[in-house]
Structure 1
């Protein structure tokens, strides 16, 4: 079922990933292509409450955007993913950060938006009720899992993960939708036996001691996968490649800073309304892979793998060619 994914997992040929501390000069715009003149103004669409987009806030608050001659404003976007991608494609925003497993299905519609970098992995968790003895994937057969929406990246990821482990995510578990902040309460009340969500909520709930962590999106073969990605309006990337490169470099430099100083990232995220104590948030960020942000052939391979896996669980259309789709939605701006 996951034939294309299996075939590519073993192949590292042509892979490329940004190495923390390594200069980008060999893959990105040369000095002669660096942005000149007044700072280039850009708008980035994001969700300020999402822990996984903290690299953007770090880039702004610690002067990384400014260093790359960018003047960035944020557009806090609470609408659907389709609306967010349409806003980028039509110029209401220039770029956005979000989760690949939420964006791939809408990108199938053909929005002129190009992914330029993976930012990190590790922010999606599956937690089981200790009271209901849910401590493994096998114990989830015939049980209900709380999710915040039916197209959530948590549902998409764990549908893939369950299927790979021989559990039919459509027939052998039930997905029940609740408001995100009520998922743990639904488990407490016994309405469901597990929950799947993106940080910070599941990390904070895990600390309360009533839930087991069954898996994350770094478990097993997914240890090196990215989840959060940067995407830029296609017309901007084509007409102003140095701007797209400067923005991508800024986000990756900021992600590296999150990895090296998670306490500072926690303080910045908290300042944007993030919930949780600074100590808890810093520990949460240490559990993510902000030091690993793939670009180039490695990222394109990951997008292909996700597409193939989403086809296998009937999220992406079976007629979609994963390799052609990855070619269409990814753009290398750093070579």
Structure 2
């Protein structure tokens, strides 16, 4: 399926994600493994046992030290528990770059925003999404003294992002804010100007009037907000977006074909780490502080507390949320509105843990 340019026509609003609990225990069916994992916080979770096979895998992830679930999984032995030896690759600053490492075979699995995954999957990336890790942390910020109070106020103004590429190469932050703008009746490709600016220059370009807003995702945008005393105009942490998964774990098709149980171990390990992050923010902040030495631990903790960490869907819940993203890409012309979002989502998600 090819990507097409922005269309002026509005399409129907995105579907509501069905956010339900997952129930059951692991079962074997046919030649594959179909696991159902109950995430009832009132009871102790019962997981399928790993098969005991030791696996070495390579993982691509943009700025891995910034990912709380990955940081906890590596630090507290969740991967070891499932006999996984994960090498985290260097060299990816964006989700698109991490997925390039997956495409070339340099990586077996990757973590990237859903809005980075979908254009690549639509463009032929041979991989499947297997597990959601956490919800979003994108923020669009303005000077507190400015007249900008709503995202619509940015009409005919400029926005700075660390990665402001457009079209099918657009970064996840730009795509997210473009979707928000489109829902407000704006054309994000014509009604605002996007400028790539390094985060350390955000204060300079705001003060000079070169841009009127800056955007990005935590922890970089959190640090900008705190140090420059900026006001939040829009974010992925409010309203219905707060219940949406953003960072997603995916695996190459060839890995899933030759070793399907590897995906089971990966999902169980990362789901366990995600739940620990959600219930132990102070411990997570301590782990991340060791990896982000320029950011004080108390600031990391406040950042984590401002985010939402109990969103890590699998199975049907993940498919529903990915289908909703496909609907939203229709709004900005990156998916043909006649395509069936549910079918696309089913094609791109592997049912490792079935809800």
Question: Normalising TM by the smaller chain, what interval?
Answer: 0.7 to 0.9
- Partners of 1:193 and 1:210 lie apart in 2 by 14
Kept in 2: contact 1:145–1:174 (CA 8 A): yes
Structure 1 residues 135 and 82: alpha-carbon distance in aligned structure 2, compared to 1, 3 A threshold: closer
Tell me the TM-score normalized by structure 1: 0.88
User: Aligned residue for 2:113?
Assistant: 99
Q: Which of the numbers 12, 20, 27 marks the counterpart of 2:18?
A: 12
Q: Which of the numbers 47, 51, 59 marks the counterpart of 1:44?
A: 59
Kept in 2: contact 1:121–1:228 (CA 8 A): yes
Q: 1:180 Cα deviation (Å)?
A: 3.5
Q: Which secondary structure does the structure 2 equivalent of 1:223 belong to?
A: helix
Q: Which of the numbers 161, 169, 182 marks the counterpart of 2:188?
A: 169
Structure 1 residues 59 and 329: alpha-carbon distance in aligned structure 2, compared to 1, 3 A threshold: same
Q: 1:312 Cα deviation (Å)?
A: 1.4
User: Aligned residue for 1:153?
Assistant: 172
- Partners of 1:13 and 1:136 lie apart in 2 by 28
Q: Which of the numbers 30, 51, 69 marks the counterpart of 1:35?
A: 51
- Partners of 2:41 and 2:290 lie apart in 1 by 26
Structure 1 residues 280 and 273: alpha-carbon distance in aligned structure 2, compared to 1, 3 A threshold: closer
Q: Are 2:197 and 1:178 equivalent residues in the alignment?
A: yes
Structure 1 residues 257 and 118: alpha-carbon distance in aligned structure 2, compared to 1, 3 A threshold: same
- Partners of 1:327 and 1:274 lie apart in 2 by 41
User: Aligned residue for 1:329?
Assistant: 348
Kept in 2: contact 1:19–1:292 (CA 8 A): no
Q: 1:71 Cα deviation (Å)?
A: 1.5
Q: Are 2:142 and 1:125 equivalent residues in the alignment?
A: no
Q: 1:82 Cα deviation (Å)?
A: 4.9
Kept in 2: contact 1:49–1:273 (CA 8 A): no
Q: Which secondary structure does the structure 2 equivalent of 1:229 belong to?
A: strand
- Partners of 1:217 and 1:232 lie apart in 2 by 25
Q: 1:291 Cα deviation (Å)?
A: 1.6
User: Aligned residue for 1:197?
Assistant: 216
- Partners of 1:82 and 1:117 lie apart in 2 by 18
Deviant stretches of 4+, over 6 Å: none
Tell me the alpha carbon deviations over residues 275-302 of structure 1, each in whole angstroms, 9 at most, x when there is no partner: 4211011111122222221111121111
Unaligned segments of structure 2, at least 5 residues: 1-9, 23-37
After superposition, residues 1-335 of structure 1 pair within 5 angstroms as 1-3=10-12, 5=14, 8-9=15-16, 12=18, 16=22, 18-20=39-41, 25=46, 30-31=48-49, 34-37=50-53, 39-48=54-63, 51=66, 53-78=67-92, 81-149=95-163, 150=165, 151-208=170-227, 210-273=229-292, 275-318=294-337, 320-335=339-354
State how many pairs are aligned.
325
Kept in 1: contact 2:133–2:246 (CA 8 A): yes
Structure 1 residues 21 and 13: alpha-carbon distance in aligned structure 2, compared to 1, 3 A threshold: closer
Tell me the alpha carbon deviations over residues 137-193 of structure 1, each in whole angstroms, 9 at most, x when there is no partner: 232222211112221211110110111122222232221221233234321322111
Tell me the TM-score normalized by structure 2: 0.83
- Partners of 1:159 and 1:50 lie apart in 2 by 27
Kept in 1: contact 2:63–2:93 (CA 8 A): no
